[in-house]
Amino acid sequence: MSHEGIRIVNADEALREAAEEQPLPPEAVTPKKVRVMKTEGTGVAIDWRDGHRSAWSFAWLRNACPCATCHEERESSGRRPGVPKPGTQAPLVMYKAPARPVEVTPVGKYALKFKWNDGHETGIYSWEYLRRVCECEDCRAKAKD
Ligand SMILES: [Zn+2]
Ligand SMILES: [Zn+2]
């Protein structure tokens, strides 16, 4: 029996492979309108040039931090971007203020950088990354296939 052709990939590898295999068209990764609801503390919403609309809560974005440290940490525990660390929602865990940015800075024309209220600020959220982790119902349904 041959196991050739069978590979086990985790979510991040799958995401990266998908990124290599099918480049997104420029209009899918170019925002028409970006709303950062920093004062309201709710999250980020982007209207893309191709008509698609994405929205994420700040907590989700914090858990999807694309920096190398967070990425490796998620990869080692097999978590998809946006999924909180196990145990962080347990009632006995010391109260942690919900994630929100204290500063949001555009990086060139291609990304957003957040300085979070826990002090972390190394993640650069590129438009392409954000589009790939779109949390709308359609994209989530597709990601499950
Ligand atoms: Zn990070
Ligand atoms: Zn979507």
pLDDT tens for 5-58 read 666 666 666 666 555 557 899 999 999 999 999 999 999 999 999 999 999 999
Torsion of CA 16, 138, 27, 133, to 10 degrees: -30
* Domain residue spans of the chain: 11-144
Ligand with the closest atom to the CA of 65 = 1
pLDDT digits (tens, 9 = 90+) for 66-101: 999 999 999 999 999 999 887 655 565 567 788 999
- Please tell me the class of the 11-144 domain: alpha beta
**Ligand 1 centroid to 129 CA: how many Å?**
14
Residue 3 has pLDDT above 60, yes or no: no
Which pLDDT value is given to residue 86?
Answer: 78
For ligand 1, a single-atom ion, the residues with CB < 5 A are: 65, 67, 70, 123
Residue that the structure tokens 């994209």 belong to: 139
| pTM exceeding 0.85 | no
**Ligand 2 centroid to 5 CA: how many Å?**
30
CA 69 to CA 86: how far, in whole Å? 17
Residue 1 has pLDDT above 60, yes or no: no
CA 3 to CA 22: how far, in whole Å? 26
**38 Cβ contact partners less than 8 Å away, ≥ 6 residues apart:** 100, 101, 104
Which pLDDT value is given to residue 61?
Answer: 98
**Ligand 1 centroid to 130 CA: how many Å?**
14
**Ligand 2 centroid to 95 CA: how many Å?**
32
**Ligand 1 centroid to 1 CA: how many Å?**
42
**Full DSSP string of 28-57:** GSSEEEEEE-TTTT-EEEEEETTS-EEEEE
Which pLDDT value is given to residue 27?
Answer: 97
